[in-house]
């Protein structure tokens, strides 16, 4: 592997600023790496090499003029559910296979303003519904650590691209775990920020009260750099919090002496918890303790057991409303062969959407329908409030909570495709965090059977800096994040 594609963003920054390497050289190294390993990994839906080289040349001019920003000239990938002006944005769905947005998502615009380089768009489960990237309408992505296994999902493309050295970092979206679970399964850092910290404008909506964009990176410092670049108020998203983006890198002091860490018991009894995964997390907690953190083993969040059920009412309900727009008229796929307008609408949705997307739309439409609304949707909203208040209670006396990110390591392709419930259980540890709108980060903390294990660090609302600080301190004391899969 070329040494340039195994750098971190902060290392590449130093080389770029010292003119030891140009952004064009760096970008070319990534394009070559993609050529080499992409046939095996399949992390990209669309590659944009010409655009990347054009952006790299512009970045080199900006660096020469002395106004480089932290991401100027840095080659990145973007998950394919974020709008990119003039570049196809498919959501890995037949419905949007030929959709080219006329505008950039706010996050894409902000990366562009820093002069970042876009290599292409990352594969995903269709409309971000899934935990393995096998629901992509085009092809599954493979886990760089074992090509017979899934990378997780729905942001499997972004996680695999970063793990395989096919991008320095990527952006994903997380509605129930879609950044943290694939980050864990691929052995990279992934963060879902506090709800409202990052603008959702231009993110193709799945479940708007849960969706949040966040970074995938090779280490915590890069994750902080990426988050600082994309966070901050945006008047085009009504749920965007009215505050500027902090410099998250300045939070990385390396010092967590006295940090109050809670370990919620329910996350260790979770259904299907693998004992080797659990052991890796317990070892990681011992390291945090060695760094001076105070560990409280007696935290309980009893309503955690309802979180999965609440999610599978709320997320499908919101999705059934959000996906009503795909009617074959406004944009996207359209089936004109059917005859009447209603028949065309039906045929468009029948052929444009895959199985899982249709399952979610039906579940959601059912729970929102008259007569069932109170029993399902309204009840789920009430339980959501209880889950949120249990977290608030825990954060009165704790700075962060630590849990496994996923109950298992990467599973084999095809293992869970015939049983949706087994697939859904992959997110038991991440879903409660979305329900409560909290920041959560997954970082590498060991291996089980040769496959990466991720530790989840959860913070209170707007405690993103504390989460990053804890993760960074752990990372400094360990070397899991420096390992690479064997792909050549
Ligand atoms: N796997 C979960 C689902 O299928 C979460 C997906 C996500 O976070 N986008 O809904």
Cα(176) to ligand 1 centroid in Å equals: 5
pTM: 0.98
Position 337 scores a pLDDT of 86
The answer to whether 81 and 126 have CB atoms below 8 angstroms apart is no
Domain boundaries, position 202: 3-248
Cα distance between residue 291 and residue 471, in whole Å: 12
Which residue among 80, 128, 216, 440 is best mutated to probe the pocket of ligand 1, counting the most ligand atoms within 8 A of its Cβ? 128
Distance 124 CA to ligand 1 centre (A): 11
Beta strands in 287-396 (DSSP E): 294-299
The burial class, CB within 10 Å (0-12 / 13-18 / 19+), for 215 is buried
On whether residue 9 sits in a domain, the answer given is: yes
What is d(CA 139, CA 85) in angstroms, rounded to the nearest whole number?
24
pLDDT along the chain (488 residues), means of 10: 92 98 98 98 98 98 98 98 98 98 98 98 98 98 98 98 98 98 98 98 98 98 98 98 94 97 93 93 98 98 97 98 94 88 94 98 96 95 98 98 98 96 95 98 98 98 98 98 93
Ligand 1 centroid from CA 47, angstroms = 25
334 assigned to active site: no
* Residue 89: inside a domain: yes
475 CA → ligand 1 middle, Å? 27
Tell me, yes or no, if 330 is annotated catalytic. Answer: no
Position in ligand 1 atom list of the atom nearest CA 173: 9
The answer as to whether 430 is a domain residue is no
**Cβ proximity of 127 and 93 under 8 Å:** yes
Q: How far apart are CA 4 and CA 120, in angstroms?
A: 18
For residue 271, the model assigns a pLDDT of 77
Residue 450 lies inside a defined structural domain of this protein: no
Spacing, Cα 174 to ligand 1 middle (Å): 7
Tell me, yes or no, whether 474 lies in a domain.
no
Q: Check if 154 is active-site.
A: yes
Q: Give the angle subtended at the CA of 89 by the CAs of 183 and 59, to the nearest 5°.
A: 75
Rounded to whole angstroms, how far apart are CA atoms 65 and 86?
A: 28
State the chain's maximal CA–CA distance in angstroms.
70
List ligand 1's pocket residues with C-beta within 6 A: 128-131, 154, 174-178, 206, 315, 427
CA 70-71-73 angle, 5° bins: 125
DSSP category for residue 18? T
What was the pLDDT predicted at 414? 97
Tokens 């010292």 label which residue?
A: 18
Q: Which helix (H) or strand (E) holds 30?
A: helix 23-41
Output DSSP code: residue 243. Answer: S
- Name the domain count of the chain: 1
Give the atom of ligand 1 at the shortest distance from the alpha carbon of 424.
Answer: 1
Confirm whether 365 is domain-assigned: no
Q: Is residue 259 in some structural domain?
A: no
From the candidates 42, 79, 121, 192, give the one annotated as an active-site residue. 79
Q: Which atom of ligand 1 is nearest to the CA of 153?
A: 1
- Tell me, yes or no, whether 331 lies in a domain: no
Instruction: Name the residue with the closest Cα to ligand 1, atom 5.
Output: 176
pLDDT value of position 338: 76
Which CATH number covers residue 162? 3.90.1300.10
Active-site pick, 154, 173, 426, 442: 154
- Per-residue pLDDT at 1: 66
Catalytic hit among 178, 199, 240, 426: 178
């Amino acid at each position: 592997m070329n040494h340039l594609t195994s750098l971190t963003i902060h290392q590449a920054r130093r080389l770029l600023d010292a003119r030891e390497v140009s952004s064009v050289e760096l970008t070319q190294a990534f394009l070559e790496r993609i050529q080499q390993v992409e046939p095996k990994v399949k992390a990209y839906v669309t590659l944009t090499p010409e655009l990347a080289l054009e952006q790299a040349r512009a970045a080199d001019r900006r660096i020469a003029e002395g106004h480089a920003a932290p991401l100027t000239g840095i080659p990145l990938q973007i998950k394919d559910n974020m709008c990119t002006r003039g570049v196809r944005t498919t959501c890995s769905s037949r419905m949007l296979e030929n959709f080219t947005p006329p505008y950039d998502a706010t996050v894409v615009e902000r990366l562009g303003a820093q002069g970042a380089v876009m290599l292409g768009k990352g594969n995903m489960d269709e409309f971000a519904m899934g935990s393995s990237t096998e629901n992509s309408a085009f092809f599954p992505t493979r886990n760089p650590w074992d090509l017979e296994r899934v990378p997780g999902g729905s942001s499997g493309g972004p996680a695999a691209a970063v793990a395989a050295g096919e991008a320095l970092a990527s952006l994903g979206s997380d509605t129930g775990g879609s950044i943290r679970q694939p980050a864990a399964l691929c052995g990279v850092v992934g963060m879902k920020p506090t709800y409202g910290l990052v603008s959702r404008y231009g993110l193709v909506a799945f479940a708007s009260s849960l969706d949040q964009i966040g970074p995938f990176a090779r280490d915590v410092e890069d994750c902080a750099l990426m988050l600082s670049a994309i966070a901050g108020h945006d008047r085009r998203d009504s749920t965007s919090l009215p505050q500027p983006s902090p410099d998250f890198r300045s939070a990385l002091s390396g010092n967590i002496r006295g940090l109050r860490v809670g370990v919620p018991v329910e996350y260790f009894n979770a259904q299907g918890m693998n004992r080797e995964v659990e052991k890796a997390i317990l070892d990681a907690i011992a390291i945090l303790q060695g760094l001076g953190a105070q560990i409280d083993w007696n935290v309980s969040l009893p309503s955690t057991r309802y979180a999965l059920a609440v999610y599978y009412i709320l997320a499908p309900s919101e999705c059934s409303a959000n996906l009503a727009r795909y009617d074959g008229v406004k944009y996207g796929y359209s089936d004109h062969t059917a005859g009447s307008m209603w028949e065309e609408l039906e045929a468009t949705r029948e052929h444009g959407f895959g199985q899982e997307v249709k399952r979610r739309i039906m579940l959601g439409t059912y729970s929102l329908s008259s007569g069932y609304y109170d029993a399902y949707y309204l009840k789920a909203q009430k339980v959501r409030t209880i889950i949120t208040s249990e977290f608030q209670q825990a954060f009165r006396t704790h700075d962060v909570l630590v849990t496994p990110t996923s109950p298992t390591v990467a599973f084999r392709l095809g293992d869970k495709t015939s049983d949706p419930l087994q697939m859904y259980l992959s997110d038991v540890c991440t879903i409660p965090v979305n329900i409560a709108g909290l920041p959560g980060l997954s970082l590498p903390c060991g291996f089980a059977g040769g496959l990466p294990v991720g530790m989840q660090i959860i913070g209170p609302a707007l405690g993103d800096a504390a989460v990053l600080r804890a993760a960074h301190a752990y990372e400094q004391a360990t070397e899991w994040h420096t390992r690479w899969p064997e792909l050549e």
